[in-house]
Structure 1
């Protein structure tokens, strides 16, 4: 399988805001190789019915994904709204520019 694109997986870690209050902040991004895919029509409608707006899917090697909630690709930050492991070796990351509601 060709890994044609790169993306940065972004962890979210405990931190402090400008007022000194405890909050969650972006950690140090980690670059990985990915394959960019379109959102399948069935995936789009299922997610949209659940209040999510899937925009793009990235495939990644399962061993490289460490449950990061965010991804940056081609200058755009995305929230990972759903993951799906296809065969134990490849994981699909369904992404949206908007966080899950609720």
Structure 2
């Protein structure tokens, strides 16, 4: 199978600010190969019923994914709302648009 797309997997790091409060910041992104896929109709309606709006699915190798909650593809950021692995080698990351405050 050809890996046609490149995405950045972005971990979230919890640190303490000057007031001792825990804050989440983006960690160092890791670039991996992926396949961009469409959201299946059944997936879309199930997620919508649960208050989520899936926009895109990325298929990556299981060995490349280490529970990163954010994905960057092109100039857009996404958050991973669900993962699915059917065969143990590949995993699908079901994502929705991530609101960026910056």
TM, length-normalised to structure 2: 0.90
CA RMSD of aligned residues (A): 1.6
Where in structure 1 are there 5+ consecutive unaligned residues? none
Where in structure 2 are there 5+ consecutive unaligned residues? none
TM superposition outliers: structure 1 runs of 4+ over 4 Å: 16-20
Asked whether 1:97 is paired with 2:97, we answer yes
1:14 deviates by 1.0
Match of 2:81 in 1: 81
TM, length-normalised to structure 1: 0.90
1:15 deviates by 2.4
1:48-63 alignment, distance < 5 Å: 48-63=48-63
Match of 1:9 in 2: 9
Q: What is the number of equivalent residue pairs in this alignment?
A: 99
Contact 1:16 1:25 in 2 (8 A): no
